[in-house]
Amino acid sequence: MNVHTIEKLDAAVASSKGLVHVPTHFNANKLVEVLQQLMPVPASIKAAASKEQPLRASGHKFTVKEIDDAMAGRVIGISDRFRLKAAMTQNGIL
């Protein structure tokens, strides 16, 4: 291995720190797990997920700007961004 290859590998590892894993299918708990990687999640949403209640029962809604700001500095593919927002909309928290 040459120095250039090692530098590329180091850069890839450093950039993966902002990587967020977005599952293909969401349930309430998985959605909360992903949101916790991005931002602080209100206790009411965590409680609803832990009781397997609909997340809309928490009474909290995020704005699109909050979600976009949280994803801005992270490594998330465009399809994953749409999938996350769709799951939030389906759960009544966006």
pTM: 0.75
In angstroms, rounded to a whole number, what is the distance separating the alpha carbons of residues 3 and 38? 34
Tens of pLDDT along the chain (94 residues) come to 566 665 655 555 445 557 777 888 888 899 999 999 899 999 999 999 999 888 888 888 999 999 999 988 888 888 999 999 999 999 999 9
